[in-house]
């Protein structure tokens, strides 16, 4: 029976849900010390002095480090994405602030002590004399002529200025219809279940360092940490065994893990640091945070002809690891969405502010792009009095247009966009909904429908393209398949799953190809000493790229096993079949060998075919020819409580196409989780700073993550259109939900509010915001 | 997260607990720990001594009295929400208790802890006001009765004096009254953005007596006296409900926050919530 395509229960769950996982915070090393960070309470201040004497003299305190102490010994924290032509203004990011703190949460000192209590108590004794400076918080503040400078050497706070596309001014001048919107993509705080943590241990004999860290990409961490600490890369081992979610926030190399590693080397003792939730809110990267002016041009018949986007992106106080690529490459090149829009122009200003650095957050740029085009399409439909679904259908890419190259020279691999749209509409029964909506409106009730047709560029990605767009790394992936003498299989993969379930899906791929039971397969990841190389898990790349590498390595294992089997069976390789884990001579089924029998022969090597080495192991590095482009249609029905402004999601339908499903249950889990997060942005989540740069929504008591009870059951459907360039045909599914759900729910709410002529609202749609809009509309109507 | 070190006492008898508190007036009394422990973990509270009431037998249990019920301070929210006696004699209390936190919190948190903590957005204070409960406070010198209407003084501030602890709550018999707790929970914290507890004595379609407890919108839970007066002597018709609801904030300073709900919105939401609660029992 086929294993691929089955909803096999997640093999990692047993250990994770019974408390037997190996999270970084679970690591206990003999003699370990505990580190805590003293963080700035001010968004922007000059450090006049740091008095550490009383803290140092506390019993149990091993060290107190300040910015001045480590400045010569830890190189600045680097950024790893330098988009060409963006004039990226790279500024020094010291591991501990030296003269100036630039955001609430900026680390000023690290205390290392025998116990966490001692470290915390000593931290309270450190006295920092701050001269508070005016802070820049929002992008609109940052671009003001009289705005304070976040970094002295960066005039106008402009971190980058990036353009793509062509001049569309003529298209807009001559257009029959144009629509314009101002979009505020509010800032989000990732909040994975597990906050960040790091444990470092230095071996003075081998002069080597082991760093357990909450990482989505341990090999990138190895590279960056070794560089920053001036240690040879081969003497640094990074382990990220079990990681409790990341949503992009564990891609970056932060000061914290570098400081912990530094302290372990300096003190010759293991050092452990675990971020608490409060700290997570200010010290881990945030997501989104754009203000955009967006426009669409087209004809009265509904044909869209051009799009123009001008975005201000808040990058926070320092350039985080992938930050410069998120609001540029991952955003700007896909703003045309799933539509055939011939002309497009994007201009992005990335700005420094006195806020927590902003980096990738689930979807990273593509949710922002999808949101704006989906809002514009609805606005355009309203402007010309056309049904927004009909407008989408008219402009959606047609099957015969694939592969389709968009206005930014991005080539979408494959798609059947209309099919996904049809399935969603059929499930929804739009005519019946419109009748219900009409009836509800007569009763004074406000219900609405939002439909989003989206495409995502993911499966990152071709390394040549990575280089061309300034990503300071490759995006290929590596896999090693090691068959043991008993036929058991170990897979070492360079991806680093942290909740996505590849220990299961990759085992399914192996079981399918080798015909062995899942129990015979171990998938190993998250350890730079066990896995030779890899670029990690983000950008919905793990199965599309890591799975591709695995598939290639399996080809090689099967090829070699076949030659050994043929030799043993005294047959030609071409005359062998390999099915259900058994090599057989074609037409002579009783002349056969099982895969474990061949594995044993390979290892005994008593009789090998000429030119074939003993053992049975193969590795492969797969560099994809293109990104992959999952797509789909999402639809939501919502009701707005006219009196309170509260929004209730009544129904949510998702049709996604991520190519063939290796494990439908895991895919559904990814889809549902993503949708909930996407709706979270629409309705509940949003970082709120005051004008001095204090984070007001700084805890889970204030920052509303969606809860299960907030939402109805989500109806999940799939169409399956393989990617033609990917060996498994798979496209990636980790981010589609966050990309599609936000505009779907926002458009549904605005549809519900359309009788009141409310055209736009800022996210999140809190009850108060919606209530104010309704009240203002009703007042306005009364005044007319 | 870790806490600042503290001394810990776990008396077995109320007398010992009160003696300990007299001897250490700076000590904090620990009930279910659902509010105090998070404050300590966040370094917002650092008591030098905790007196854990978990083993004090006299503080446990719900008993029927001739004129109502007496609820021991250490009674958990889950018990309040599911207890047969509370459900029969004081349904409003059971209903409000079912709204507290989540199942884990309801199994740990206690009525005494919640009331003595006096979070301005907690559920039980509103129910106590509507129930016209009496708080039984004890110290080494003896005990006294504090009407719920006088008990809540400000954010996290009650009428309890140093050396005094809340030992029980007395609820008069509410059977036969129309009662309901209507809550709009904060999506992050689950606390009340607005919570309204009503208890009405209705005879012949006319409200004889109304008690309305409001939580979430002011510095402490309060009785909406103006709204109560607007109901008394009237039938529960839409006009009366609208009038009473519009008076829910009368004489109170309504507070807002910068993240989720302004004072203006809370004031509006209070009116809608009271109106819905009244419609529910009309």
- List pLDDT tens digits, range A520-565: 999 999 999 999 999 999 999 999 999 999 999 999 999 999 999 9
Using DSSP's 3-state secondary structure scheme, residue A532 falls into coil
**Contacts of residue B188 in chain A, CB cutoff 8 Å?**
684, 700-705
Reported confidence tier of residue A482, pLDDT bands at 50, 70, 90? very high
Domain-located, residue B198: yes
* For residue A180, pLDDT beyond 70: yes
| Same domain, yes or no: B68 and B166 | yes
Q: Do B260 and A120 touch (CB under 8 A)?
A: no
pLDDT band (50, 70, 90) for residue A781: confident
Q: Tell me chain B's radius of gyration from C-alpha atoms.
A: 19
What tokens were used for B124?
């039980």
- Do B155 and B249 fall within a single domain? no
Q: Residue A473's pLDDT band (boundaries 50, 70, 90)? A: very high
Same domain? For A274 and A299 the reply is: no
Mark yes or no for CB contact A117/B4 under 8 Å: yes
In this structure, what token pair is assigned to residue B189? Answer: 């914290």
Q: Which three-class secondary structure state does DSSP give residue A174?
A: coil
Same domain, A506 and A527: yes
Confidence of residue A235 (pLDDT cuts 50, 70, 90): very high
Residues forming beta bridges with residue A689, ordered by sequence position: A695
Instruction: Establish if A2 belongs to a structural domain.
Output: no
Q: Dump pLDDT digits (tens) for A488-526.
A: 999 999 999 999 999 999 999 999 999 999 999 999 999
% of chain B surpassing 70 pLDDT: 100
Helix B238-246, helix B263-281: angle, nearest 10: 150
CB–CB of A640/A448 below 8 Å?
yes
Question: How many cross-chain Cβ pairs, A to B, lie less than 8 Å apart?
Answer: 53
Identify any residues that bridge with A588 across adjacent strands, giving them in sequence order. Answer: A585
**Cα–chain-centroid distance for residue A503?**
19
Is B44's Cβ below 8 Å from some Cβ in A? no
Instruction: Give the pLDDT band of residue A589 (cuts 50, 70, 90).
Output: confident
Rounded CA-CA distance A653/A656 in Å is: 10
Q: What CATH code is carried by the domain that includes residue B128?
A: 3.30.465.10
Can you state the percent helix, strand and coil of chain B, rounding each to 5?
Answer: 35, 30, 35
Q: Is A688's CB within 8 Å of B189's CB?
A: no
Proportion of chain A above pLDDT 70, given as a percent: 99
**β-bridge pairing A287-298 and A177-188:** antiparallel
Q: What is the DSSP string of A195-249?
A: --EEEEEEETTTTEEEEEE--S-HHHHHHHHHHHHT--GGGEEEE--B----TTT
DSSP for B65-109? Answer: ETTEEEEETT-BHHHHHH-HHHHHH-HHHHHHHHTSS-HHHHHH-
Residue A782 burial (C-beta neighbours within 10 Å; 0-12, 13-18, 19+):
exposed
Q: Do B2 and A278 touch (CB under 8 A)?
A: no
Q: Is the peptide bond before A403 cis (omega within 30 degrees of 0)?
A: yes
Q: Give backbone dihedrals phi and psi of A113, rounded to 5 degrees, phi first.
A: -145, 170
Q: Are residues A635 and A618 in the same domain?
A: no
Closest-CA distance, A311 to chain B, in angstroms, reads 25
Dump pLDDT digits (tens) for A715-762. 999 999 999 999 999 999 999 999 999 999 999 999 999 999 999 999
- Taking the Cβ of residue B208 and every Cβ of chain A, the question of whether any pair is shorter than 8 Å is answered with no
Please compute the mean of the pLDDT values over residues A239-266 and round it to a whole number: 98
Choose the closest CB to A278 out of B2, B42, B260: B42
The answer to whether the beta carbons of residues A650 and A638 sit under 8 Å apart is: yes
Closest CA to A200 of A258, A140, A133: A258
pLDDT in tens, B157-176: 999 999 999 999 999 999 99
What pLDDT score does A45 carry?
98
Provide residues of A within 8 Å CB-CB of chain B: 116-117, 120-121, 276, 278, 643-644, 646, 684, 688, 690, 696-697, 700-705, 707, 710, 766-768, 771-772
Q: Could you tell me how many helices (H) and strands (E) chain B has, helices first?
A: 12, 14
- The Cα–Cα gap between B158 and B140 comes to 19
Give the DSSP H/E element, type plus range, for residue A50: strand A45-51
Residue B2: what pLDDT? 72
CB A563, CB A609: distance < 8 Å:
yes
Residue A494 is predicted with a pLDDT of: 98
Helix (H) or strand (E) holding B152: strand B152-154
- Closest chain B residue by Cα to residue A691: B258
**Distance between B5 CA and the closest CA of chain A, angstroms:** 8
Give the H or E element holding residue A177: strand A177-188
Which CATH number is A112's domain given?
Answer: 3.90.1170.50
Same domain, B166 and B199: no
User: In the structure encoding, which two tokens stand for residue A476, read together?
Assistant: 């290929």
Q: Residue A548: its pLDDT value, please? A: 97
Q: Is the dihedral of CA A59, A60, A62, A67 positive or negative?
A: negative
Which of A622, A650, A677 is where one domain is finished?
A622
What CATH number corresponds to the domain at position B46?
3.30.43.10
Query: What is the number of alpha carbons within 13 Å of residue A710 lying toward its C-beta?
Result: 20
Q: Which domain holds residue A761?
A: 287-460+626-783
B95 and B165 housed in the same domain? yes
What is the least distance, in Å, from the CA of A60 to any CA of chain B? 15
**Mutate which of B104, B265, B277 to test chain A, going by most A C-beta atoms within 10 A?**
B265
Closest CA in chain B for residue A275: B1
- pLDDT, mean over chain A: 97
User: Are A80 and A207 members of one domain?
Assistant: yes
HSE-CB at A206 with a 13 A cutoff on CA atoms is 10
- Give domain status of residue A151, yes or no: no
A395 pLDDT more than 60? yes
* Mean pLDDT computed over B193-206: 98
Choose between B258 and A330: higher pLDDT: A330
Q: What is the pLDDT averaged over residues A580-601?
A: 96
Backbone dihedral region for residue A693 (phi beyond 0: left; psi -120 to 50: alpha; all else: beta) = left
B259 to A707: CB separation less than 8 angstroms, yes or no: no
- The DSSP secondary structure of A363-429, one letter per residue, reads TTTHHHHHHHHHHHHHHHHHHHT--HHHHHHHHBPPGGG-SEE-TTS-EE----HHHHHHHHHHHHT
**Shared-domain flag, residues A556 and A668:** no
User: What value does the mean pLDDT take over residues B33-38?
Assistant: 96
| A696 vs B contacts (CB less than 8 Å) | 258-259
The answer to whether the CB atoms of B4 and A121 lie below 8 A apart is yes
Does residue A591 share a domain with residue A490?
Answer: yes
pLDDT of residue B1: 61
User: Would residue B2 count as lying in a domain?
Assistant: no
CATH label of the domain that carries residue A518 = 3.30.365.10
Dihedral sign from CA coordinates of A405, A410, A413, A415: negative
Instruction: Give the DSSP letter string of A729-781.
Output: -----SSHHHHHHHHHHHHHHHHHTGGGT----PSS--HHHHHHHHHHHHHHH
Flag if A768 and B272 touch (Cβ within 8 Å): no
Domain count for chain A: 3
Per-residue pLDDT at B241: 98
Q: What angle do CA A516, A520, A523 make, to 5 degrees?
A: 110
Structural domain harbouring B229: 178-281
Between A116, A643, A703, which is nearest B2 by CB? A116
| Domain tally, chain B | 3
Closest residue to B188, CB basis, from A276, A690, A702: A702
| A552 shares a domain with A677 | no
- Looking at the fold, whether A312 and A428 belong to one and the same domain comes out as yes
Residues in B touching A116 (Cβ below 8 Å) = 2
CA atoms of A312 and A142, how far apart (whole Å):
10
Q: Is the pLDDT of residue A784 over 70?
A: no
| pLDDT recorded at residue A782 | 65
Between the alpha carbon of residue A709 and those of residues A648, A705, B105, the distances in Å are 11, 12, 17
Chain A contact for B189 (CB, 8 A cutoff): yes
List the CATH number of the domain containing B183: 3.30.390.50
What size, in residues, is chain B? 282
Say if residues B182 and B123 touch (Cβ distance below 8 Å): no
* Residue tagged 């990409």 (tokens): A217
List the Cα angle A265/A267/A271 in 5-degree steps. 75
Query: How far is the C-alpha of A246 from the C-alpha of A734, rounded, in Å?
Result: 12
* pLDDT attached to residue A622: 98
Q: What b/e readout covers A280-317, taking b as 16+ CB neighbours within 10 angstroms?
A: bbbbbbbbbbbbbebbbbbeeebbbbbbbbebbbbbbb
User: What per-residue confidence (pLDDT) applies to B3?
Assistant: 81
The answer to whether B241 touches B233, Cβ cutoff 8 Å, is: no
Report d(CA A741, CA A736) in Å as an integer: 8
- The answer to whether residues A277 and A397 belong to one domain is no
Residue that is last in its domain, among A601, A622, A643: A622
The pLDDT of residue A357 is 98
Q: What is the pLDDT of residue A783?
A: 58
Mean pLDDT of the region A300-304: 98
Contact A77, A253 (CB under 8 A): yes
* Residue after which a domain boundary falls, among A605, A622, A639: A622
d(C-alpha A539, C-alpha B84), whole Å: 54
Predicted interface score ipTM higher than 0.90: yes
- Among A191, A226, A200, A163, CA closest to A356: A191
8 Å CB contact between A571 and A585: yes
Residues A589, A555 share a domain: yes
The answer to whether B188 contacts chain A (CB < 8 Å) is yes
Distance between CA atoms of residues A348 and A494, nearest Å: 33
Q: For residue range A22-79, list pLDDT tens digits in order.
A: 999 999 999 999 999 999 999 999 999 999 999 999 999 999 999 999 999 999 999 9
How far does B101 lie from chain A, in Å, by closest CA? Answer: 12
Chain A touched by B258 (CB under 8 Å) = yes
Q: In A38-100, where does DSSP find H-type helix?
A: 53-56, 67-70
Distance from CA of B44 to the nearest CA of A (A): 12
| A31 and A76, same domain (yes or no) | yes
Interface mutation target, options A640, A699, A767, chain B, most CBs of B under 10 Å: A767
Cβ atoms of A115 and A60 within 8 Å: the answer is yes
B104 at the A interface (CB within 8 A)?
no
């Amino acid at each position: 029976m086929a294993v691929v395509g089955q909803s096999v229960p997640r093999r990692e769950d047993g250990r994770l849900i019974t408390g037997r996982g190996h999270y970084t915070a679970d690591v206990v090393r003999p003699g370990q010390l505990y580190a805590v960070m003293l963080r700035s309470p001010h968004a922007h201040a000059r450090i006049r002095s740091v008095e550490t004497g009383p803290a140092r003299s506390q019993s149990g305190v091993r060290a107190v480090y300040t910015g001045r102490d480590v400045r010569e010994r830890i190189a600045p924290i680097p950024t790893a994405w330098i988009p060409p032509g963006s004039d990226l203004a790279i500024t020094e990011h010291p591991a501990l602030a030296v003269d100036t703190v630039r955001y609430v949460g900026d680390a000023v000192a690290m205390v290392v002590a025998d116990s966490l209590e001692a470290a915390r108590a000593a931290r309270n004794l450190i006295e920092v004399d701050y001269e508070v400076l005016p802070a820049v918080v929002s992008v609109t503040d940052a671009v003001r002529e009289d705005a304070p400078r976040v970094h002295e050497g960066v005039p106008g706070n402009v971190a980058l200025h990036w353009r793509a596309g062509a001049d569309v001014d003529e298209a807009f001048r001559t257009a029959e219809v144009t629509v314009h919107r101002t979009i505020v993509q509010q800032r989000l705080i990732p909040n994975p279940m597990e906050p960040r943590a790091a444990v470092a241990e230095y071996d003075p004999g081998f002069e080597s360092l082991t760093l357990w860290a909450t990482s989505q990409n341990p090999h990138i961490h190895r590279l960056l940490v070794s560089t920053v600490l001036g240690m040879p890369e081969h003497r640094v081992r990074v382990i990220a065994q079990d990681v409790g979610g990341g949503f992009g926030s564990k891609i970056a190399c932060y000061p914290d893990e570098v400081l912990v590693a530094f302290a372990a080397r300096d003190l010759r003792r293991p050092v452990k640091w675990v971020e608490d939730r409060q700290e997570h809110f200010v010290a881990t990267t945030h997501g989104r945070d754009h203000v955009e002016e967006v426009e669409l041009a087209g004809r009265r018949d509904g044909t869209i002809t051009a799009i123009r986007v001008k975005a201000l992106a808040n990058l926070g106080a320092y350039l985080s690891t992938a930050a410069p690529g998120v609001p540029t490459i991952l955003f700007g090149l896909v703003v045309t969405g799933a539509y055939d829009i011939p002309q497009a122009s994007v201009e992005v200003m990335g700005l420094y502010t006195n806020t927590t650095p902003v980096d990738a957050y689930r979807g990273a740029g593509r949710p922002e792009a999808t949101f704006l085009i989906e809002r514009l399409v609805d606005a355009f439909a309203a402007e010309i009095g056309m049904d927004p679904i009909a407008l989408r259908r008219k402009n959606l890419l047609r099957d015969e247009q694939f592969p389709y190259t968009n206005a930014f020279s991005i080539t979408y691999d494959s798609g059947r966009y209309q099919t996904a749209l049809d399935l969603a509409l059929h499930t929804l029964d739009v005519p019946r909904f419109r009748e219900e909506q009409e009836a509800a409106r007569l009763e004074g009730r406000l219900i609405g429908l939002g439909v989003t047709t989206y495409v995502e560029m993911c499966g990152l990605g071709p390394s040549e393209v990575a280089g061309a767009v300034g990503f300071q790394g490759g995006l290929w992936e590596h896999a090693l398949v090691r068959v043991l003498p008993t036929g058991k299989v170990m897979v070492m993969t360079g991806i680093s799953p942290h909740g996505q379930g590849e220990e299961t899906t990759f085992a399914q791929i192996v079981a399918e190809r080798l015909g062995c039971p899942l129990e015979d397969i171990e998938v190993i990841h998250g350890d730079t000493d066990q896995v030779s190389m890899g670029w990690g898990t983000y950008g919905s790349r793990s199965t599309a790229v890591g799975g591709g590498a695995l598939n290639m390595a399996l080809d090689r294992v099967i090829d070699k096993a076949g030659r050994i089997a043929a030799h043993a069976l005294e047959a030609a390789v071409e005359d062998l079949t390999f099915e259900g884990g058994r090599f057989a001579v074609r037409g002579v089924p009783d002349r056969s060998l099982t895969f474990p029998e061949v594995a044993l022969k390979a290892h005994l090597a008593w009789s090998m075919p000429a030119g074939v080495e003993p053992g049975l192991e193969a590795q492969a590095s797969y560099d994809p020819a293109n990104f992959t482009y999952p797509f789909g249609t999402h639809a939501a029905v919502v009701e707005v409580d006219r009196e309170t402004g509260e929004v209730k999601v009544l129904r949510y339908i998702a049709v996604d196409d991520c190519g063939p499903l290796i494990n439908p249950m895991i895919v559904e889990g990814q889809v549902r989780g993503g949708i909930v997060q996407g709706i979270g942005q629409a309705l509940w989540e949003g970082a709120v700073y005051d004008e001095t740069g204090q984070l007001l929504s700084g805890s889970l008591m204030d920052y509303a993550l969606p809860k299960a009870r907030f939402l109805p059951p989500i109806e999940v459907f799939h169409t399956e259109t393989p990617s033609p360039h990917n060996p498994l045909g798979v496209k990636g599914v980790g981010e589609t939900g966050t990309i599609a759900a936000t505009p779907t729910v926002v458009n549904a709410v605005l549809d519900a509010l359309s009788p009141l002529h409310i055209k736009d609202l800022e996210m999140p749609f809190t009850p108060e915001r919606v209530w104010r809009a309704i009240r203002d509309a009703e007042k306005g109507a009364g005044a007319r | 997260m870790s806490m600042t070190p503290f001394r810990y006492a776990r008396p077995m008898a109320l007398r010992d607990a009160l003696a300990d508190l007299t001897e250490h007036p700076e000590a904090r009394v620990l009930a279910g720990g659902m509010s105090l422990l998070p404050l300590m973990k966040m370094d917002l509270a650092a008591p030098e001594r905790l007196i854990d009431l978990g083993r004090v037998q006299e503080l446990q249990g719900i008993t029927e009295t001739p004129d109502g019920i007496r609820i021991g301070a250490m009674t958990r929210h889950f018990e309040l929400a599911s207890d047969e006696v509370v459900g029969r004699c004081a349904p409003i209390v059971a209903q409000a208790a079912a709204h507290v936190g989540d199942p884990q919190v309801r199994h740990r948190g206690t009525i005494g802890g919640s009331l003595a903590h006096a979070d301005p957005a907690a559920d039980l204070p509103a129910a106590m006001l509507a129930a016209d409960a009496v708080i039984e406070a004890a110290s080494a010198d003896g005990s006294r009765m504090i009407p719920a209407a006088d008990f809540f003084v400000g954010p996290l501030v009650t009428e309890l004096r140093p050396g005094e602890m809340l030992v029980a709550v007395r609820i008069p018999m509410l059977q036969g009254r129309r009662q309901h707790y209507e809550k709009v929970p904060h999506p992050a914290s689950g606390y009340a953005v607005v919570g309204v507890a009503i208890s009405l004595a209705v005879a012949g379609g006319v409200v004889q007596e109304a008690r309305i407890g409001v939580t979430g919108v002011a510095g402490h839970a309060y009785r909406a006296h103006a709204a109560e007066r607007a109901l008394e002597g009237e039938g529960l018709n839409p006009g009366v409900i609208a009038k009473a609801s519009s008076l829910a904030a009368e004489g109170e300073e309504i507070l807002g926050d910068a993240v989720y709900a302004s004072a203006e919105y809370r004031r509006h939401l209070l009116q809608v919530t009271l109106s819905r609660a009244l419609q529910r029992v009309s």
